[in-house]
């Protein structure tokens, strides 16, 4: 197959490029580098199975060759307002990538009679009042809060994907991705894994926002990519949660990072308002992924962090 992957220079997009190429598919990567990094795909230069188009997906997309599948991953993804890569500092670009970018990539899928896969997010559940979150939960989202630029763009993207599926018969997939981490995350993107690892490896105290009782369920990137690959080649058109269902509090997570990096500088607590609307609890119900895709995560949080540390050490220039 020939596959168009938007957001190819980002964290997840670059791993997807690697996976599809390793499986023998040809990949056309597309990115405008707003939060991505050309280094993430530099190793693919010269590979006959890889080509790249620098383009903003918010504008009409022309793909010079036929494609069999379109994976739409282009969007800023970090909620941290302290990071220049955070979507709170790119609010209109984020809405455009989710809305116009989804429209344009669905248009490509329609024109090429290609399969379409949307990168959606656990954020569509907002600050959830049901726990764990099943795909049938409609969510609890503030439509005008700061995070709405991301949440509502992704909710619109899901709605548009289903509209194209129902109206034009496009063969669509929706993956709801829960917090994923691993090598190639931007070290300054402000999400909790890069922040904590950077602080720990530099011997600084870890910044826990609020009291640290809020929870997340962290997925190692290889597990996620495996789930997405299975979803694309399944026949399932309803949304599927892909995430590790082991839930941990942010405080517990900070302690784990300090232990694994042997950081003695401890933890500092910072005002929770840094991330307004910070969800209190998040854990995927992955029954559907298990049943439909025969998928479940295989990497524990500790093992995943151990695999991620060398990348951060290299980026930070520490031994
Ligand atoms: P990332 O910032 O590393 O990657 C996003 C990529 O999209 C970047 O390379 C960026 O330059 C590109 N991009 C953004 N807007 C663009 C535009 N208008 N045109 C072209 N390229 C554009 O983030 P990521 O963590 O790899 O996230 C990738 C996708 O997965 C996003 O859609 C995100 O919403 C989704 N997601 C990620 C997570 C996670 O935990 N990493 C969780 C839920 C959903
Ligand atoms: N967080 C934190 N310290 C940091 C960065 C994040 O305590 O330096 C918290 C944040 O408030 C949230 C959780 O970690 O409760 C996960 O944040 P992240 O930015 O990774 O993404 P989110 O899951 O909120 O989309």
- We report the CATH number of the domain holding residue 81 as 3.40.50.720
- 212 part of a folded domain: no
Residue whose entry in the numeric block shows the structure tokens 């954020």: 123
To test the pocket of ligand 2, the residue of 275, 276, 280, 284 to mutate (highest count of ligand atoms within 8 Å of its CB) is: 275
Q: What is the CA radius of gyration of the chain?
A: 19
Phi, psi torsion values for 171, nearest 5 degrees: -85, 95
Element (H, E) at 160: helix 148-168
pLDDT, residue 260, reads: 98
pLDDT, residue 81, reads: 85
CA dist., res. 13 & res. 30, Å (int):
9
Distances in Å between the Cα of 158 and the Cα atoms of 92, 118, 176, 291 are: 18, 7, 10, 22
Quote the ligand 1 centre to 227 CA distance (angstroms). 17
Instruction: Count each helix (H run) and each strand (E run) in the chain, helices first.
Output: 8, 13
Question: Atom 21 of ligand 2 has which residue's CA nearest to it?
Answer: 191
CA dist., res. 319 & res. 313, Å (int):
6
- 200 part of a folded domain: no
Q: Which of 150, 164, 209, 220 is catalytic?
A: 150
pLDDT, residue 144, reads: 95
Quote the ligand 1 centre to 76 CA distance (angstroms). 5
- 191 part of a folded domain: no
CA dist., res. 246 & res. 313, Å (int):
26
CA dist., res. 42 & res. 39, Å (int):
5
- 49 part of a folded domain: yes
Instruction: Give me the tens of pLDDT residue by residue for the chain, a chain 319 residues long.
Output: 999 999 999 999 999 999 999 999 999 999 999 999 999 999 999 999 999 999 999 999 999 999 999 999 999 999 888 889 999 999 999 999 999 999 999 999 999 999 999 999 999 999 999 999 999 999 999 999 999 999 999 999 999 999 999 999 999 999 999 999 999 999 998 999 999 999 999 999 999 999 999 999 999 999 999 999 999 999 999 999 999 999 999 999 999 999 999 999 999 999 875 567 889 999 999 999 999 999 999 999 999 999 999 999 999 999 8
pLDDT, residue 143, reads: 96
Q: Which ligand is nearest to the CA of 151?
A: 1
Quote the ligand 2 centre to 315 CA distance (angstroms). 21
Q: How many domains does the chain have?
A: 1
- 116 part of a folded domain: yes
- 199 part of a folded domain: no
Q: At what angle do helices 192-201 and 301-316 cross, to 10 degrees?
A: 60
CA dist., res. 73 & res. 101, Å (int):
10
Tell me whether residue 150 is one of the annotated catalytic residues.
yes
CB of 305 closer than 6 A to ligand 2?
Answer: no
Q: Which ligand is nearest to the CA of 83?
A: 2
- 141 part of a folded domain: yes
Residue 218, token pair as written in the block: 């962290």
Residue 86, token pair as written in the block: 């955070």
Sign, Cα dihedral of 134, 136, 141, 144? positive
Full domain range(s) for residue 6? 2-185+219-244+283-299
This prediction has a pTM of: 0.98
- 276 part of a folded domain: no
The tally of CA atoms less than 13 A away on the side-chain side of residue 290 is 10
């Amino acid at each position: 197959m020939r596959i168009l992957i938007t957001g190819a220079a980002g964290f997840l997009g670059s791993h997807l490029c690697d996976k599809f190429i390793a499986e023998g598919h040809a990949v056309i990567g597309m990115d405008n580098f707003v939060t991505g990094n050309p280094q993430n795909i530099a190793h693919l230069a010269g590979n006959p199975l890889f080509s790249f188009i620098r383009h903003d997906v918010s504008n009409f997309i022309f793909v010079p060759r036929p494609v069999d599948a379109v994976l739409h991953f282009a969007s800023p993804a970090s909620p941290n307002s302290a990071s220049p890569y955070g979507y709170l500092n790119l609010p209109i670009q984020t809405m455009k990538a989710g809305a116009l970018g989804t429209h344009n990539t669905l248009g490509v899928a329609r024109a090429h009679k290609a399969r379409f896969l949307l990168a959606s997010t656990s954020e569509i559940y907002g600050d959830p009042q049901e726990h764990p979150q099943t795909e049938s939960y409609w969510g609890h989202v503030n439509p005008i809060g700061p995070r709405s630029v991301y949440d509502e763009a992704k909710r619109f993207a899901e709605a548009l994907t289903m509209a194209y599926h129902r109206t034009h018969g496009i063969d669509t997939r929706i993956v709801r991705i829960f917090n994923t981490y691993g090598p190639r995350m931007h070290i300054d993107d402000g999400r909790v894994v890069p922040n904590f690892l950077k602080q720990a490896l530099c011997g600084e105290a870890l910044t826990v926002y609020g009291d640290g009782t809020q929870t997340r369920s962290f997925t190692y990137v290889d597990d996620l990519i495996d789930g997405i690959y299975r979803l694309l080649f399944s026949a399932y058109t309803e949304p599927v949660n892909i995430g590790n269902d082991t839930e941990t509090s942010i405080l517990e997570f900070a302690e784990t990072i300090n232990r694994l990096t042997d950081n003695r500088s401890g933890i500092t607590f910072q005002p929770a308002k840094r991330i307004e609307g910070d969800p209190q609890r998040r854990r995927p119900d992955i029954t559907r992924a298990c049943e439909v895709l025969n998928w479940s995560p295989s990497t524990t949080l500790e093992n995943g962090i151990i695999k991620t540390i060398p990348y951060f050490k290299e980026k930070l220039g520490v031994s």
